[in-house]
Structure 1
Amino acid sequence: MNFLSLENSCRNMTPKIITLKEKKLIGLSAEMSLLDNKTPQLWKTFRQRSKEVDHRASEDFISLQQYPSHYFERFSAGSEFVKWACVEVDEVDNIPEGMNMLLLETGLYAVFHYTGSAQNAPTFFQYIYGEWIPNSEYQLDGRPHFEVLGAKYKNNDPNSEEEVWIPIKAK
């Protein structure tokens, strides 16, 4: 997909507005920045160990970002955030060694459907943060941002599909 067709598809994109119910997640996390991106190593390690997680709620994987409160106001590619490679669980009675549990709180989310490779993702996110949110009746909320990597997710494939969950609240 070229830049122009991606830009046009973003302009026509309307997210679903969903109230997320509390979720329990188990996985690995790492502090990083866009300049010091440790995502490939984090996911490689978690994928190798994901079978250790008991009581999975689905086969989906979740890529989650916890941004500091000032992250989007003073954005810099060197700004640090916490990235999680994780899965949702129905219950937590055993957390594998070296992994942690994260409670994703109930809240409102704008859910976008993304099709494409990671290469085109910056334009997609630029649309969300630079156009959709400022022109909507919502603003960013301070809760985690995440992507649901389901059965149609194929790493670095132009036909890959995922759900992008952006935390929002009324302006």
Structure 2
Amino acid sequence: QLGYDSQESFTRAFKSRYYVKPGKYRRLGLHFAVTQKKRLCKKDPIGLKGGIRMEPKIIHKSAFKVIGLKYYGNDPANNCPKLWRDFMERHTEIENVISAKESYGLMCTGEEDFIDGKFDYIASLAVSTLERIPEGMVGAEVPEATYAVFTHKGKLDSLQDTYEYIYGKWFQNSEYEPVGLNEFELYDERFTGKEDSEFDIYIPIKKKR
């Protein structure tokens, strides 16, 4: 581990420097090297999406519940699209749905997660109760939190650029840092999969010490 006495110490040092664990860094396909804090400027191409600065909204969101299909592994590029297809075929089985027009891609992580890049991901809908979960599905409760909400614009194949901006630039220059728990994507009527597509990325945050 490059001079570190354990995987744990390496992970701790990496997260302290880049605000993301090594496993998640690999999973998102990130490739940033930050040597010092840099001022964000209008000429920064990663910080711009369609000519609009991608500054997040800071919001507080109450706890909510979801039911959906879960994937666990380290190959999201090949498995998560199938997960969503399977979920869309079965989503009408879920009762007590709050809004069928909003779906959630929830990453349920803890301190022990992202080992070898593996993670839990749930394609889901928000519900009013976790009773009567359909067979083969799971329920989860997302705790109350403060979020930085980023809007990804364009096709999914440019999503890596958005995450590189979030973790490689915005958090490096922000007064906030990610909490590391229960990050999620919110898909609504804006999501088309085309050039004009949009969806929101919610990252739980706290003030830096």
TM-score bracket for this pair, using the shorter chain length:
0.7 to 0.9
State the partner residue of 1:27.
68
Amino acid at match of 1:166: I
Change (3 A) 1:15 1:154: same
Q: Any gaps of 5 or more consecutive residues in structure 2?
A: 1-42
Instruction: State the TM-score, normalizing by the size of structure 1.
Output: 0.86
Equivalent in 122, 137, 145 of residue 107 of structure 1: 145
Q: Is the 8 A contact 1:32 1:81 kept in 2?
A: yes
Judging by fraction of residues, say which structure has more helix.
2
Aligned equivalents of 1:125, 1:22: Cα separation in 2: 25
Secondary structure, in 3 states, of the residue corresponding to 2:107? strand
Please give the per-residue CA displacement for 1:124-146, whole angstroms capped at 9, x wherever unaligned.
10000111011111111031111
Q: Is the 8 A contact 1:68 1:81 kept in 2?
A: no
Answering whether residue 205 of structure 2 is matched by residue 168 of structure 1, we say yes
Please give the per-residue CA displacement for 1:19-70, whole angstroms capped at 9, x wherever unaligned.
1100000001111224774101111111100000111111211111124437
Judging by fraction of residues, say which structure has more strand.
1
Higher RCO by CA contacts (8 Å cutoff, separation 6 or greater): 1
Aligned equivalents of 1:98, 1:70: Cα separation in 2: 24
Change (3 A) 1:8 1:17: closer
Secondary structure, in 3 states, of the residue corresponding to 2:149? strand
Instruction: State the TM-score, normalizing by the size of structure 2.
Output: 0.71
Secondary structure, in 3 states, of the residue corresponding to 1:38? helix
Answering whether residue 104 of structure 2 is matched by residue 62 of structure 1, we say yes
> Where do 1:5-154 residues align within 5 Å?
7-9=46-48, 12-34=53-75, 37-58=78-99, 59-69=101-111, 79-154=117-192
Q: Any gaps of 5 or more consecutive residues in structure 1?
A: none
Secondary structure, in 3 states, of the residue corresponding to 1:91? coil
Aligned equivalents of 2:183, 2:67: Cα separation in 1: 16
- The percent of aligned pairs where both chains have the same amino acid is 31
Change (3 A) 1:7 1:36: closer
State the partner residue of 2:196.
159
Please give the per-residue CA displacement for 1:68-97, whole angstroms capped at 9, x wherever unaligned.
43778x9xxx51111110010122331111
Change (3 A) 1:35 1:56: closer
Aligned equivalents of 2:174, 2:47: Cα separation in 1: 18
